[in-house]
Amino acid sequence: MLEVTGVTVRFGGLMAVRDVSLSAPLGTVTGLIGPNGAGKTTLFNVITGLGAPTSGRVSLDGVDITRLAPHKRARLGLSRTFQALQLFGTLTVAENIALAARRKGTAEKPHECAARLLEFLGIGHLADTHAHNVPTGQARLVELGRALATAPKLVLLDEPASGQDPDETEHFKGLLRQIAADGVGVLLVEHDIPLVMGVCSQIHVLDFGQLIARGTPEEIRRDERVIAAYLGTEEVDTTEAAAP
Amino acid sequence: MDTFLSLTVSGLATAAIYAVAASGLVLTYTTTGTFNFAHGAIGMISAFLYWQLRFDWGWPTPVALVAVLLVAGPLFGMGLERVVMRRLEGTSEITRLVVTIALLLGLLGLSVFIWDPGVGRPMRNFFAGNVVEVGGIRIPWHQFVALAVAAAVAVGLRILLYRTRSGVAMRASVDNRTLAALNGARPERSAMLAWAIGCSLAALSGILIAPTLTLSAIPLTLLIINAYGAAVFGRLKSLPMTFVGALVLGLLNDYAIGYLTELPDDLEPYFRGFVAAIPAILLFVVLLVMPASRLGGVTRSREISVKPGWGGSLGLAAAVVIGTAMITPLLRTSDLVSIGRVWGLAIIGVSMVPLIGLCGQLSLCQLTFAAWGAIAYAHLQWDNPLALGWAALVAGAVGALVALPALRLKGIYVALATAAFAVLCDRWLFQFPPFSIGSHEFDLFQNGTLEVVRPRLPGVDFSGPKAYFLFASIVFALALLAVVAVRRSTFGERLIAIKEGPAAVATCGIDVNAAKVAVFALSAAIAGVGGAVLSGAEPANNSTFDFVAGLPVLMVMVIGGVASVGSAIATGIFLGSPLMSRIFPGFERWQNILVGFSGVGLGKNPNGFTADLRRPSTLVKRDPVVLVGMLVALLALWGMRTAELFTNGPYVVASLAVLLAAPIVAGRRAATAAPVTEAEETREAVDAARLAGAVDGRLSAPPELLGLTAPFQDTDVAVLDEVIDLVEIHDGGRGDRVRI
């Protein structure tokens, strides 16, 4: 289980994330939604070690990883994809995945791991294509494959469905369910609300860096504050403005 | 106390000049995002121009000043923006930095070309001879002029950036060029203005600083480069902090000059070069303590590195050794003196492939690594080829040491840190007198030239000039194969991953820091071997390896394609052999100009010209008849030369002609080969697209960028037709397979 406790991130005077606590159990898909600029990617960076929190702690299966370097977190079982694609363009798709393959504690060779994941993702035909030639929708799958190659306990997916067409998103939904069924935890940041509602068992909602709601998809759908954050209502706007 | 006061005043004046230079640099960087490494060279050439107008042609001072500062400087800046920099839009920060380094080299070459360095050119201070006495210390008017100019620049820039429309537009284009354009600003105009003012300020600092030394291209350029430390102090952003940096730099500089000469005699020699190294040391320290920048996004670069195959690489390595073995007997000993540097330089060139080409760490101190290798090699005095391993070990350790501070730096800051290290070694460490640690005597450059022993094996003696030349080619071939092995290994893939996905690579469980230290050590080790081989070929001294001498090596590598081992051969032959000067008499004077200004054109083809050689070489490789014919012709020519039927000149020309003719013949034959069906034609078009450097062997650019980054080509049509099954439609085939 991934646990985030009281994480705050300040950039100068701006509080990008304010005292956020959440948890993501393994074997399920946990959603993290919120309007643009809510602090979702910043929180992802803190969890994966690409950014340091001003305060708070992050732990994976009870091990405090707050101060750990990103690659060590990856070796402990935490991996992610990126909203702005970060594939290694000169390498082929198979090489991208093989490079991330876990080497210790497994008999599987990196290229076997890549072949297995490519088949699982349904993009075996792209194996020898250079990564910078892969269209965005499928590139998201390659990033997912690369994240899975590290044999993670938990993967963080940052807007994995953006740039995918409806068919691809449907395919993606199936993949997420399978990944969770294999016992891997998924923390999903996504703007495609039907996708989030369809696959997540728990959803957390961030707004202006603060956690404003958590619950099952059904609870979130009915939550006044969530509706306000996305659509804005006069009533909630005034309380927001009144808050210090 | 009087000394202190007068040092303070002169330090302030030095600081003022640095501030003027650094503020020009910062202004260009913040407005355009390009770090102009040539800033110092622009100042240098402006000082030369001023000398020409004012002292040689005797123009009145104000007229000469206006001509240089308000006409030549701004015009040069605007031309630079319009002709060079604007085309680099969308290339990586590193590519743009390399282009400005090329410009630096070109300007150095140009100044030497116009103003013969053998002639002394005294330049007088402003109001020379006029001195004010304040409280017992004498202050030359020139120092007041410098202070007044710096103050005027500070006030002027402040007003420009905050009180004028153009200035606000300049600040807007810093944050978001496109957005600024949408809101009515004209980023091109802002950029042009920034380059114009930047160049003018460079010129101003050049003219002010030139009287402190006789007008000489490289020292003057380096003197202005000193100011880069002040700019980094302001994080290349803040003008006030840049002025503070300049203040620290100027005062430290003049205090050191004043007080270090008073050191006791036994210590003084160790600090002789220290004063000159102060700006480099300050730059290094500032880079060390500066907070690390946050992770940036990835720029989609057009740079690709093709994975070399073992077959071709072994063939290349064999060709190097066999070719050298065939040519060596034909050379006179006097020829060998001038051609001896080829393989040493090639090894240093190939050392750049893993570090700069694959990992994207722009190191400007490869020649310094080579120097450490050469020093270690000379110190050992061992005639076993294994002594090269010792050179590799020492240079590798230096490389790892440099990597440690460079770990947290990115992009241009790596380049600046390595440049600072190179200058630090040149000016200070390599100037050390002999010293001893414990009972062991060290003498780095042995008061001038390194004395090395050439290798010798039982039965094989490499110490003769011809045998040594062959030995050097074998070492290069091994270095080349080692680099190919690295590129093909998982380690090589990791290096590419660090360059192309800096944020993602760590989340894949890869230890970025360890990989960076490893690649610095590896690259430095190879460079160290290159330095050792070089020092065996010709008498090597401090200046063989200095910072400026390293720039042409880097530039030829980059022009050839810094990710490909083939460019190392080109580097060696172009810079190390008299080939060019034999063909074009007087070539030495043109060399830096040519290299520099070819590098400036780099934006057009960031993969280098060796990528363009791929197609002809593949054509020849695929056609056994032509391949065998070419080899036979080369052998026959060599046989005739050995039989003394003609001399070396015609031999070289005829061999080059054979090498040029082979791909042309192969291309003709391929074109007239058996009747081609349309499907085969498509396949060939696909192949041709791949050969032409197509990104994926299919399209000339990623589909979404097709026709945007490069012209749309016929092959693209063919490939797209194939992908959407239009070929079948042309064939009158099955329309039901069309998927659109």
Q: Which of A51, A90, A150 is closest, CB to CB, to B508?
A: A150
The whole-number pLDDT of residue A242 equals 44
Distance from B710 to chain A by nearest Cα, in Å? 15
Q: Is the predicted pLDDT of residue B599 greater than 80, yes or no?
A: no
What is the per-residue pLDDT for A23? 93
Least confident range from A197-211, B149-163, B668-682: namely B668-682
The whole-number pLDDT of residue A93 equals: 95
By Cβ distance, the residue of B496, B505, B512 closest to A90 is: B496
Residue B736's pLDDT band (cuts 50, 70, 90) = very low
Instruction: Measure in Å the smallest separation between the Cα of B707 and chain A Cα atoms.
Output: 15
Q: What is the pLDDT of residues B467-524, one digit of tens each?
A: 999 999 999 999 999 999 999 999 999 999 998 888 899 999 999 999 999 999 999 9
In CATH terms, the superfamily for domain A2-36+51-242 is P-loop containing nucleotide triphosphate hydrolases (3.40.50.300)
Nearest CA in chain A to B500: A88
- pLDDT tens digits along B612-662: 777 788 888 888 889 899 999 999 999 988 888 888 888 888 888 898 888
* The pLDDT value given to residue A238: 46
Interface test with B, best of A41, A83, A88, A143 (most B CBs within 10 A): A88
For chain B, give the longest Cα–Cα distance: 100
Chain A residues lying within 8 Å of B294, measured CB to CB = 51
Tell me, what DSSP letter sits at residue B99?
A: H
- Assess whether pLDDT exceeds 70 at residue B570: yes
Residues of B in contact with A84 (CB under 8 A): 297-298
Distance between CA B221 and CA B212 in Å, rounded?
Answer: 13
Please report which confidence band the pLDDT of residue B264 belongs to, taking 50, 70 and 90 as the band edges: confident
pLDDT at B725 over 70: no
Quote the pLDDT of residue B734.
Answer: 44
Please tell me the class of the B310-559 domain. mainly alpha
Q: Which residues contact B199 (CB under 8 A, 6 or more apart)?
A: B24, B42, B46, B73, B74, B76, B77, B80
Pick the residue from chain B with its C-alpha nearest to A97: B508
Please compute the mean of the pLDDT values over residues B178-203 and round it to a whole number: 85
Cβ of B719 under 8 Å from any chain A Cβ?
no
Domain positions in chain A: 2-36+51-242
Query: What pLDDT, on the 0 to 100 scale, is given for residue B589?
Result: 73
Q: Which of B565, B556, B564 is nearest to B602 (CA)?
A: B556
Closest CA in chain B for residue A77? B509
Q: Contacts for B67-74 with beta carbons within 8 Å, 24 or more apart? A: B68/B203, B68/B207, B69/B200, B69/B203, B69/B204, B69/B207, B70/B200, B72/B46, B72/B203, B73/B42, B73/B46, B73/B196, B73/B199, B73/B200, B73/B202, B73/B203, B73/B204, B74/B196, B74/B197, B74/B199, B74/B200
Could you tell me if B704 lies within 8 Å of chain A, comparing CB atoms?
Answer: yes
Band the pLDDT of B723: cuts 50, 70, 90. Answer: low
- Token duo for residue B365: 């101190």
Cβ contacts from A onto B, under 8 A: 96
pLDDT at B464: 87
Nearest to A86 among B294, B298, B305 (CB): B298
Q: Note the pLDDT of residue B687.
A: 53
- pLDDT score for A216: 93
What's the pLDDT at A141? 94
Q: Is B297–A84 a contact, with Cβ atoms under 8 angstroms apart?
A: yes
Residues B52-74: tens digit of each pLDDT: 999 899 999 999 999 999 999 99
pLDDT of residue B368: 97
Interface touch A79/B508, C-beta < 8 Å: yes
Nearest chain A Cα to B703, which residue?
A133
pLDDT value of position B733: 41
pLDDT the model gives residue A239? 47
In this predicted model, which residue has the larger pLDDT, A130 or B525? B525
Helix (H, G, I), strand (E, B) or coil at B373: helix
Query: What's the pLDDT at A173?
Result: 93
Helical ranges in B261-309 per DSSP H: 274-289
What confidence tens digit (pLDDT) does each residue in B414-444 have?
999 999 999 999 988 888 888 877 777 777 8
Q: Which of B507, B511, B702 sits opposite A79 (nearest CB)?
A: B507
Q: What angle, 0 to 180 degrees and rounded to 10, lies between the N-to-C axes of helices B342-352 and B566-576?
A: 140
Residue B694: pLDDT band with limits 50, 70, 90: very low
- In order along its 244 residues, chain A shows pLDDT tens digits of 999 999 999 988 888 999 999 999 999 999 999 888 889 999 999 999 988 899 999 999 999 999 999 999 999 999 999 988 889 988 999 999 999 997 777 888 999 999 999 999 999 999 999 998 899 889 999 999 999 999 999 999 999 988 888 899 999 999 999 999 999 999 999 988 889 999 999 999 999 899 999 999 999 988 888 888 877 665 544 444 444 4
Residue B501 contacts A where some CB pair is shorter than 8 Å: yes
Q: Tell me which residue in B305, B493, B508 faces A146 most closely, judged by beta carbons.
A: B508
State whether B507 and A99 contact (CB < 8 Å): no
Cα angle vertex B162, ends B161, B168, to 5°?
A: 65
| Average confidence (pLDDT) over B664-678 | 73
Determine contact, residues A138/A126, Cβ cutoff 8 Å: yes
Q: Do the first three CATH levels of B2-116+125-289 and B310-559 match, i.e. the same topology?
A: yes
* pLDDT at residue B411, as a whole number: 81
Q: Give yes or no for residue B732 having a pLDDT over 80.
A: no
Look at B695 and A36; give whichever has higher pLDDT.
A36
Task: Grade residue B685 by pLDDT with cuts at 50, 70 and 90.
Answer: low
Mean pLDDT lowest among A194-208, B341-355, B559-573, B643-657? B643-657
pLDDT at B243: 95
B386-416 b/e (C-beta count within 10 Å ≥ 16 → b): ebbebbbebbbbbbbebbebbbbbbbbbbbb
What are the residue ranges of helices labelled H in B601-713?
614-622, 624-642, 648-672, 678-691
Q: Smallest Cβ distance to B703: which of A91, A135, A146?
A: A135
* B289 pLDDT more than 70: yes
- Report yes or no: B281 and B424 within 8 Å, Cβ to Cβ: yes
Token look-up 């460490």 returns B429
pLDDT tops 90 at residue B135: no
Given a cut of 70, is residue B738 above it in pLDDT? no
Q: Does residue B209 register a pLDDT over 80? A: yes
pLDDT at site B482: 97
Using CB atoms within 10 A of its CB, is residue B460 exposed (0-12), middle (13-18) or buried (19+)? exposed
Higher pLDDT, B85 or B345: B345
Residue B391: per-residue pLDDT = 96
State whether residue B291 sits within 8 Å of chain A by CB: no
Taking CA atoms, what residue in A is nearest to B497?
A88
Nearest by CB to residue B501, choosing from A71, A86, A110, is A86
In chain B, where are the structural domains located?
Answer: 2-116+125-289, 310-559, 622-737
pLDDT tens readout for residues B447-457: 678 888 888 88
**What are the C-alpha distances in Å from B220 to residues B10, B53, B211, B215, B506?**
18, 18, 10, 7, 43
- Which one of B307, B493, B507 makes the best mutation probe of the A interface by having the most chain A beta carbons within 10 Å? B507
| Numbered residues of chain A with Cβ closer than 8 Å to any chain B Cβ | 48-51, 69-71, 73-75, 78-80, 82, 84, 86-91, 95, 99-100, 102, 110, 129-130, 132-133, 135, 143, 146-147, 149-150
Residues of chain B neighbouring A133 (CB-CB closer than 8 A)? 695-696, 698-699, 702-703
Contact A129 B696 (CB under 8 A): yes
Q: Is the ipTM of this complex over 0.85?
A: yes
Q: And the tokens for B520? A: 């610095």
What CATH code would you report for B2-116+125-289? 1.10.3470
Contact A152, A24 (CB under 8 A): no
Alpha carbon B720 to its chain centroid, in Å, reads: 39
